[in-house]
Amino acid sequence: MNTRDPAGSAPATHPATAPANAGPARAKHATARIAALALGAGAAAFALVELSAGLGPDASAAGAALIAAAGVAAGYILSFRHGPLPIEMQARLFHVADELAQYRAFTQLVRDQGQRITEITTDAATAIVAGLVDIDSGLVKLAKELDTTAPGTDLGPAASAARAMSEPVVDMLGKVQFQDITQQQIAFIARLSLLVDDHMTLLASELDGRQSFNRAGQFQSRFAQALDDCVMDSQRNDHHTAMGLSLQEDSRPVVELF
Amino acid sequence: MAHILVVDDVDVVRLVISKILKRDGHTVMEAGGGAAALDEIARRIPDAVITDLWMPAVDGFHLIETIKARHPAVAIIAMSGGSPRHSQQDSLDRARSAGATQLLDKPIDKDELVTAVRDALGGVTAIQGARA
């Protein structure tokens, strides 16, 4: 399975699948904390001994030792605040990053489907309009020929009928403009989805570009089930392309909606 | 009847408008964008131009301003259904400022189109109110 984050963010690792050098790195950090703690404790003990002996010539040394101890303690606390997060918290962040990646894939899928609808309806509407124009032209031409070739004969009503038949054709032509309106509405939806996409990119960056290797999220599984049950192959391929997945499919029967 | 140039990047809309105008007796030319429209005008100056506002490259606003600068006598009818970024009314207001004398909402209504063209060609300069 391709685990590339559509956000294109810098790769990070899931705690469950961290690289081999992650353990030594954590051990090194822990050793540094212990060393800092020991140094701080030693300095503080020295200061207390000096203080208990009275504030004499060694007072300045005691003060320096206290300051050193305070500094080491502060460094130790800060190392907890800005150092590696606890494993549980990391797992949650990776889970959120994973969901964000899946939602971004979803918005891409929505845009792809919108584009497909636009293309299909454009082709259909253009063909319908061309056909209606031909029908109208043919009816008008027929009416004129009936007028000129058989004026005052029994064919007069036929000419009138031909003209009457062409009238609703023009009204139908006007209705085909629905395609233009639909296209604009789809473009609006696509723009909104891009806004959502941008926000999710921002959220992903807040997570320091984490990228999970575990993509078995609830959203993804539901989406995959819906696709397997009732979509066209082309739609499924759009989804897989958006997810960055392989287009290889199994041969299970599916229900085609269209 | 008149020589009318229809400008829209959507084929369906162009075909529909052209058909309605031809049935009303006009000679119609079509252009799929602002640049193509200016080429058509360079070949033959129309009596009226019916143009969409939101088109790629040279949009309807620029087209209207250019036509008005070069050929002030040409009647301009602007039409818009809005855009993802701009409301329909904002678009039509801008078109009016650019020099359009008639305004039409999309989707185009056959009777309103015919009336707008007749008014424009008849020298009616009052702005037609767009459908609310």
The reported pTM is 0.59
Note whether B125 contacts A: Cβ–Cβ < 8 A.
no
Please determine, for the modelled complex, whether the ipTM score is greater than 0.95: no
Note whether B24 contacts A: Cβ–Cβ < 8 A.
no
Note whether B86 contacts A: Cβ–Cβ < 8 A.
no
pLDDT at A104 over 60: yes
pLDDT at A203 over 70: yes
Q: How confident is the model at residue A229 (pLDDT cuts 50, 70, 90)?
A: low
Note whether B12 contacts A: Cβ–Cβ < 8 A.
yes
Question: Between A96 and A15, whose confidence is greater?
Answer: A96
Residues 6+ apart with CB under 8 A from A99: A217, A219
Nearest CA in chain A to B84: A188
Residues in A closer than 8 angstroms to B15, CB to CB, are 126, 129-130, 133, 173
Of B68, B22, B23, the closest CA to residue B41 belongs to B68
Residues in A closer than 8 angstroms to B13, CB to CB, are 177, 180
Residues in B closer than 8 angstroms to A136, CB to CB, are 19, 23
Of A32, A135, A22, A20, the closest CA to residue A75 belongs to A32
Per-residue pLDDT, A221: 65
Per-residue pLDDT, A254: 43
List the single range of A8-22, A137-151, B89-103 with lowest mean pLDDT. A8-22
Q: How far is A188 from chain B (nearest CA, A)?
A: 5
pLDDT at A12 over 60: no
Q: Any idea how long chain B is?
A: 132
Residue A23: CB atoms within 10 A of its CB come to 10
- The pLDDT tens digits of the residues spanning A38-84 come to 666 666 666 666 555 655 555 666 666 666 666 666 666 655 555 66
On the CB side of A55, CA atoms within 13 Å amount to: 2
Inter-chain CB proximity A184 and B13 less than 8 Å: no
Q: Average per-residue pLDDT in chain B? A: 86
Inter-chain CB proximity A178 and B11 less than 8 Å: no
Residues in A closer than 8 angstroms to B106, CB to CB, are 177, 180-181
Residues in B closer than 8 angstroms to A174, CB to CB, are 16, 20, 107-110
Inter-chain CB proximity B84 and A184 less than 8 Å: yes
> Distance between CA A200 and CA A220 in Å, rounded?
16
Per-residue pLDDT, A253: 42
Q: How confident is the model at residue B36 (pLDDT cuts 50, 70, 90)?
A: very high
On the CB side of A192, CA atoms within 13 Å amount to: 10
Question: Between A59 and A193, whose confidence is greater?
Answer: A193
Per-residue pLDDT, A91: 80
Q: Which amino acid is at A26?
A: R
* DSSP letters for B3-19: EEEEE-S-HHHHHHHHH
Instruction: Indicate the SS3 state at residue A231.
Output: coil
Nearest CA in chain A to B55: A184
> Distance between CA A33 and CA A77 in Å, rounded?
9
Task: Number of helices (H) and strands (E) in chain A: give both, helices first.
Answer: 7, 0
Inter-chain CB proximity B107 and A126 less than 8 Å: no
- The pLDDT tens digits of the residues spanning B38-77 come to 999 999 999 999 999 888 888 899 999 999 999 999 999 9
